[in-house]
Amino acid sequence: MEFGTFLWTTLGAMLTLAIFSFLYKDNPFYKFAEHLVVGVSAGYWAVILWHNGLVPNLFERLQDGDWYLLWLNSSRPWYLIPALLGVLMWTRFSKKYAWISRWPIAMYIGIATGVAIPLEMANRVNKQLYATMSNIHWSNFFGSGFLDTAAGYSEVIVFIGTIAGLIYFFFSKAHTGTFGVIAKVGIYILMIGFGASFGLTVMARISLFIQRIQFMHEDWALVAFDKTNPNYSGWFPAFFWLVALIVIGYIIKEFIIYLKNKDKPKPEKA
């Protein structure tokens, strides 16, 4: 690992700790890391969109024209129309001319809706309906192994769950009697669905933390402080301790403030 790589990896490790420090309480290290993420992301996105959107889709297609003729002499001058529509979006910054921005927005929404409606209906509504309404394969149900959800059981569960879930959201009739019982089943089905989502979300959040542990251990601690590395330098630990001293200094400052305020009465909460 070279010093440059060490610097970036160490920065990554420090920023990780800075972000996790929020779990205790808000602090300047967290604020710095948070602002850095937002700033870097915005800058990165702007550059990416410029180089992958505007440059190939507009500038390169008009490049055989001349700027002083507003590229009207280009072989593909019609690309000026979307460019003009894009510019019109900026009129939102003027109170007087903001209404002009409705034109490009209307065109954008019109095209997006036209493209989306048939495909979304066909693939996210109709096909799902067909799948729910398809025949239950009773042969699978009886022929498969016990609780083989990949076979018949899941079809029955999907059928009952869908009907019960829909009935729960049917508010034109009071949820009483048999109707109420089915609606109750619907609630349980929904809760099972939310529970599955919650469980998977917990797994996802823990995964993020595990990945950070793996990064701190494998990519940072094991590599950055490996003295057998030919590029190892005394600057590596020196830099680390410098950053660590700043953090320790902050913790001591916070502790002193805590000790000073310990015996003072806390303000009553409203």
Of positions 39, 110, 193, 249, contacts another protein by CB under 8 A: 193
By beta-carbon proximity to another protein, the closer residue of 43 and 249 is 43
Taking CB under 8 A as the criterion, which residues in 136-155 touch another protein? Answer: 150, 154
The size of the interface with another protein (CB under 8 A), counted in residues, is 43
* Interaction of residue 70 with another protein, rule CB under 8 A: no
Q: At 77, list the tokens.
A: 């001058």
In order of 54, 103, 104, 140, the CA distances from 82 in angstroms are 11, 11, 9, 55
* Interaction of residue 43 with another protein, rule CB under 8 A: no
Q: Minimum Å distance from CB 165 to another protein? A: 12
Kindly indicate which of the ranges 135-143, 192-200, 226-234, 238-246 contains the residues binding another protein, using the contact rule CB under 8 A: 192-200
- CA dist 255 and 250 (Å) reads 9
* Interaction of residue 81 with another protein, rule CB under 8 A: no
* Cα 104–Cα 109–Cα 115 angle in degrees, nearest 5: 130
* Interaction of residue 38 with another protein, rule CB under 8 A: no
| 8 Å CB contact between 141 and 155 | yes
* Interaction of residue 174 with another protein, rule CB under 8 A: no
Kindly indicate which of the ranges 71-79, 95-103, 122-130, 135-143 contains the residues binding another protein, using the contact rule CB under 8 A: 122-130
* Interaction of residue 89 with another protein, rule CB under 8 A: no
Kindly indicate which of the ranges 1-9, 127-135, 136-144, 228-236 contains the residues binding another protein, using the contact rule CB under 8 A: 127-135
By beta-carbon proximity to another protein, the closer residue of 87 and 157 is 157
Of positions 8, 44, 170, 241, contacts another protein by CB under 8 A: 44
Kindly indicate which of the ranges 44-52, 91-99, 228-236, 259-267 contains the residues binding another protein, using the contact rule CB under 8 A: 44-52
SS (H, E, C) the chain: CCHHHHHHHHHHHHHHHHHHHHHCCCCHHHHHHHHHHHHHHHHHHHHHHHHHHHHHHHHCCCCCCCHHHCCCCCCCHHHHHHHHHHHHHHHHHCCCCHHHHHHHHHHHHHHHHHHHHHHHHHHHHHHHHHHHHCCCCHHHHHHCCCCCHHHHHHHHHHHHHHHHHHHHCCCCCCCCHHHHHHHHHHHHHHHHHHHHHHHHHHHHHHHHHHHHHHHHHHHHHHHHCCCCCCCCCCHHHHHHHHHHHHHHHHHHHHHHHHHHHCCCCCCCCC
* Interaction of residue 207 with another protein, rule CB under 8 A: yes
Q: Minimum Å distance from CB 96 to another protein? A: 30
Kindly indicate which of the ranges 78-86, 126-134, 168-176, 224-232 contains the residues binding another protein, using the contact rule CB under 8 A: 126-134
> Interface with another protein by CB under 8 A: which residues?
23-24, 41, 44-45, 48-49, 52-53, 56, 112, 115-116, 119-120, 122-124, 127-128, 130-131, 150, 154, 158, 193, 196-197, 200-204, 206-214, 217
